[in-house]
Amino acid sequence: MKLKVCGMKYNPEAVAKLQPDYLGFIFWEPSSRFFDKEIPSPSLGINKVGVFVDAPIKYILESITKYDLDGVQLHGNESPAYCKALREVKQGSNDKFEQTHFDIIKVFSIKDEFDFSVLQPFEKICDYFLFDTKGKLPGGNGYTFNWEVLKNYPSTKPYFLSGGIGLDSSKQIEEFLKKPESKYCHAIDVNSRFEDEPGLKNIEDLKKFKKIVIDN
């Protein structure tokens, strides 16, 4: 199981020393975790993911180039056509854009139920899905959705599990990972419940969580 730590802002270097598989940087200005600094060179093998909310594609491409991003996480109401335009860039159809190795992660928000048919138009366009908790903000709301919903997951597309996951969720995640619905769970995504303040991660809690859930 892989680990993504999202909402990097104040101490990404300290988080990188824990060797998560992904670091998430939020490029949505209204967020208290909005990132506009220089990304320090993380340890080799850590994927840098940029989180965007209904951003112009030009802005995404500029950010990929500026920050050398390995992935793009789409956290708004991006349409299949929007994702297809990004996919075409990724496939090298835009000769003005040289970096074509980035992954496309499309986010879907869930509460107590979810219509999985909405995934179908994105199946061949996106590399991963990410399931987060439906809340007032696009991410970082601090509470979980009902994971039982994922019993009805109809796809073989790998997905990230997100939404209000904290150190006290360790036992719950261990139980979830034993269930059939976790078969295509690619990574656990954590953010606000591992913070001392927005964007400042609690390293000790992350270390404990990684040891219990990821390295076990």
For residue 116, what is the domain's CATH number? 3.20.20.70
Q: Which pLDDT tens digit goes with each residue over 28-72?
A: 999 999 999 988 877 668 999 999 999 999 999 999 989 999 999
- pTM as predicted: 0.93
The pLDDT of residue 56:
95
Which runs of consecutive H residues, i.e. helices, occur in 2-90? 12-16, 57-67, 80-90
The pLDDT of residue 188:
97
- When computed from its CA atoms, the radius of gyration of the chain, rounded to whole angstroms, is 16
The set of residues, in sequence order, having a beta carbon less than 8 Å from that of 39 and lying 6+ positions away, is: 8, 12, 25, 48, 67, 68
The pLDDT of residue 112:
81
Q: Which pLDDT tens digit goes with each residue over 173-215?
A: 999 999 999 999 999 999 999 999 999 999 999 999 999 998 8
pLDDT average, residue stretch 70-98: 85
The pLDDT of residue 215:
87
CA distances from 212 to 7, 10, 173 (A): 22, 25, 10
Count of the separate structural domains present in the chain: 1
What is the spatial distance between Cα 63 and Cα 50, in angstroms, rounded to a whole number?
8
Structural domain including 163 reads 2-214
Is pLDDT of 15 > 90?
yes
Q: Which pLDDT tens digit goes with each residue over 130-166?
A: 999 876 555 455 568 889 999 999 999 999 999 989 9
Q: Which two tokens stand for residue 120?
A: 């179908």
Is pLDDT of 26 > 90?
yes
The pLDDT of residue 144:
84
